[in-house]
């Protein structure tokens, strides 16, 4: 599909979106490189499709309700607590 070239204006547009300043020789170099990348994608389009893997099924265990830590147990090793909660450093 590609005609083997990329318009330098398109390269400048993409460079502008990326906020990259390009010299004129860089624009030409990138145009050539972009054309090679697009040609490669066209080559990939020609690769025949293969059978896809069957849909994945959930192989994880089911959730089980278990008892957790009490509030006192959870706060036992905390360096600082306040009113039954973890105390962290000030924000800001």
Burial of 6 (0-12, 13-18, 19+ CB in 10 A): buried
* Distance of alpha carbon 22 from alpha carbon 16, whole angstroms: 9
pTM summary value? 0.47
> What would the pLDDT profile of 58-68 be if each residue is shown by its tens digit?
778 888 999 99
| Helices assigned H by DSSP within 2-92 | 8-17, 24-45, 71-75
Task: Summarize the confidence of residues 23-29 as an average pLDDT.
Answer: 94
């Amino acid at each position: 599909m590609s005609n083997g070239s990329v318009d330098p204006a398109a390269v400048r547009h993409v460079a502008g979106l990326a906020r990259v300043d390009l010299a004129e020789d860089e624009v030409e170099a990138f145009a050539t490189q972009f054309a090679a990348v697009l040609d490669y994608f066209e080559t990939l389009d020609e690769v025949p499709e293969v059978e896809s893997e069957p849909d994945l099924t959930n192989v994880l265990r089911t959730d089980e309700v278990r008892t957790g830590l009490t509030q006192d147990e959870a706060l036992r090793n905390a360096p600082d607590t306040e009113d039954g909660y973890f105390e962290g450093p000030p924000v800001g």
